[in-house]
Every structure is written in structure tokens, then in C-alpha cells.
Structure 1
């Protein structure tokens, strides 16, 4: 299934005891409809507060539910901060975590003293001006295959810190600066720390040489706020 969610009131994707998560909420809804416990597999983890415009998940069931009816039923019982866009049948070998070809994240930062409550849940608003050209030069540093252990919280099952960044670009749209990053896979906290580096570079509080040190393994302490990050697209 293809879904989307506003992450503000979720503690991320992955099920956690006694916490509201996207996976837990959606699994409960599927269990209600299918009358059995459903194991739901997602294309990636998301941190608490992170949003997704596109997210791929899959599950198997011993019972059949007509696709169109399932789409309608899920959207009728799920809370308003989760939406199902599409449901379809896949080969049994499909696994949302491993079958996707890539992901595109966008981090949005709003350099402004004025506050807009319609933007506030989806951007990191900072009371500083940003040098976009410096940020663009900084973004080029990330292109290629690097050891991103300095940008990540490595999980026990994550043994490979090398990630190839296919795209890292900076654009300004309606005074909001968008940092877009595309790769096949990402490490935990990686995009938020990349964004944090570029934002602090734009504020003049960080240098290009310091970013190079982070790419050489030094721990990056600049983590951008979760609410500014959105999983924009998932590529199959």
C-alpha cells in the first residue's frame, strides 16, 4: 500500500510499547478488518515528528479483501493524520524494506521572525537569514559514496555506514528553503544531521572544512528538528 501521514502526533513509524506509532495504528486497523493479527512491513523507520507524503508498506493475510473495498474501509476507520492513497496486490517476494529502489527526503527550513501556524508543523522556523549559495556549495560535499557514521545513530543490525547520495540540492520556494536528498537507503538521523549542517553553514556558524571532518568520521552534533523533515517519494 501507498500511504501518507502527518508525523506530529506519532512517535515515528515503528511500533513501540505504550506509544502511538504509524505502524501500530495501521496494524490495528488492518487487524480489525481482517480479523487476524497482521504483520506490517514498512519501507523505512521515521523519527518521532517526521512526516511522509509517500510511504510504502506491505502485509500478508490468509484472508482476501477486495482492493477497492479495503482502500475505502481503511480510510474510513484510520485517524485523520494517516491516509491510504493506493492498495494493490504484489508478488509474495515483495518486501517494502528491501524492494524499494530509493527514497527522496525534503527538509524545509523557514528563516523568518514571523510565524505562520499553517506552516509551523512542517518547517523548522529559525530567526536567522541564510546564505543559500553557501548551502548549495555545502550540499555538493555530500554527493557520492561516503561513510556517514558521523551523521548517524547506528543500530545494532546496521553494519554498513557507507551510503551513496545520488542527489542533494537546495531550492527556495516562497521563502522556504528546501533541502532535498535522494539515496537508496539512509542511516538513522542521517538526513536531519545533513540538514542541520547545511542550515548552520547557511547561518555562518559552521564551515565547509568542519563538514568534511564529519564525513571523515567525526561525530556531527547538528541535528535539525524532526518536524521539518518529510519523506517525499519512494521509488519502486
Structure 2
């Protein structure tokens, strides 16, 4: 009896979770999803995600793959209502679809896109969903500094130390700040990201926006490959994984 591989697309509010990946010291998105799938399909299922979001980080689009012992295709792809009923309200499954047996949610992804949200006035409806920054920022300078990122590939200076990655090289294809309804949204797209990379980049861009760091210093920091020279990591609450692309997945 063979197994069939499926991709599952979901979104989640990460406030109450210790990130995506299952761990012994806190509830995670993966743990909840695996439990729901195992219960629904009545067989042990372990998902593998497209990446690892940290505690408090959100995702409007996240993919994972899982294998099940062969079931009628319709029984799997039409299982959304049942699976969602088994999940907490802050996790929502959007679709399930069959893929080739060697399809891989992490390694097959060709790009990922994140947004980081910053607001400047106290707003209870943005609690745990955006970073409240008390001060003024120069968005023009921050955008100029963000464009510097496109000239480099080694981003060791923005990586969390002691990670298991073999390379700190990433190809960033988009990085920009936009002012929307009095708040800032930072969008960044790359083929891959390092642990804590986006939050460290935003922290560095904020230093530029405050006037504590010159645009020319950004290139020097990247070339120096020293995490301690870059800005502090901004809070997780403002970070969202918003897009993951695959050559064989359509919207």
C-alpha cells in the first residue's frame, strides 16, 4: 500500500504560538496541524513546512507537505471543513492539493516574501499584529538604504548565530517601505531567508530612519559580516510571511 503526497496551504496568527516547528517547550503551529490531520485521516501524519517562523510571527500564506496512505483524492482535497473544525481559530487551512511524490515544501520554493508592519499611534486593534514605534522615521532614507541590500548576497550580518545553515547567501529581489494609512509596511522578497534576517534588516533600516546610521554604513555592515554591527531585531509581532512561490503551484 503506497502513500500519496499533498501540499496544504494555511494561514495563522502566530501570537499564541512558539513558532511553526514542533518543540518540547511550547505549543506550535505544526503541532496543532499534525494533530488535526492525524485525527481527521486516522493515520499518523507529520507535516514538513516551507520554513520556520519564530514565536509570535504570523503567516498569511504558508505551505507544508504531508503523506497519507492512499485515499480517494476527493476525500483529501475536500477535507477543509473537517480539518479546520479540529484546528484552533488562529490557524486556517485554505486548500489541499495533490503533488508529485518528490515535491518538497521547503526545498522546492523559489521565493518567499515577508511584510513587516510598523505603526506610530497607539491602536488596540494592532496589538500583537504590528510594532508600535514611538518616534519619527525618514522613509526616503530607509528606502535608499533598502536598495543597498539588492547589491549583496552574503547576509551573515543579519543572521542569528549558531544556525545549521551551510551558507548565508541569499538573493534579495525586492526591498521597499511603503506608507499606508499613516503606518509603514516593509516588503522584502528573496529566494531564501536566514534565521531572524528580516527582523534584523528592519532594525538596521530603522537606525537609518532615525538618523543614527548613514546609508553608506549599511554596505559596510553587510561587508563586515558581523551581527553585532547591525541593528537590533525588531519585535516579532509585526512580521508576516505573505508569499511562497513554487514552479508548479498556481494561485
Pick the TM interval, shorter chain: over 0.9
Please point out which of 206, 209, 218 is paired with 1:211.
Answer: 218
2:79 corresponding residue in structure 1: 70
Deviation larger for 79-88 or 68-77: 68-77
CA distance in 1: counterparts of 2:162 and 2:36, whole angstroms: 29
Q: Does the 8 Å CA contact 1:12/1:45 hold for their aligned counterparts?
A: yes
Look up the match of 2:33. Answer: 26
CA distance in 2, matches of 1:104, 1:91: 24
Counterparts of 2:35 and 2:150, CA distance in 1: 40
Match of 2:184 in 1: 177
Partner SS for 1:199: helix
Q: 1:225 aligns with which of 220, 229, 235?
A: 235
Q: Distance in 2 between matches of 1:36 and 1:155?
A: 36
Q: 2:9 aligns with which of 2, 14, 20?
A: 2
Counterpart CA distance in 1 for 2:25 and 2:158 is: 29
Residues 80 and 93, structure 2, Cα contact 8 Å, conserved in 1: yes
1:147 is displaced (CA, Å) by: 1.1
Residue 183 of structure 1, CA deviation: 0.5
Superposed CA offset, 1:75-118 (max 9, x none) = 11100000011111111111100111111101111123xx1111
Residue 190 in 1 paired to residue 197 in 2? yes
**Consecutive unaligned residues in structure 1, runs of 5 or more:** none
Q: CA deviation at 1:199?
A: 1.5
- Specify which of 95, 100, 104 is matched with residue 95 of structure 1: 104
174-183 or 220-229: bigger deviation = 220-229
Contiguous gaps of at least 5 residues in structure 2? 1-7, 247-251
Question: Over aligned residues, Cα RMSD in angstroms?
Answer: 1.4
Aligned partner of residue 146 in structure 2, secondary structure: helix
Aligned residues: 234
Alignment of 1:98-137 (within 5 A): 98-112=107-121, 115-137=122-144
Partner of 2:3: none
TM-score normalised by the chain length of structure 2: 0.89
Deviation at residue 146 of structure 1 after TM alignment: 2.0
Q: C-alpha separation between the residues in 1 aligned to 2:163 and 2:115? A: 26
- Partner SS state of residue 106, structure 2: helix
1:166, distance to aligned residue in structure 2 (A): 0.5
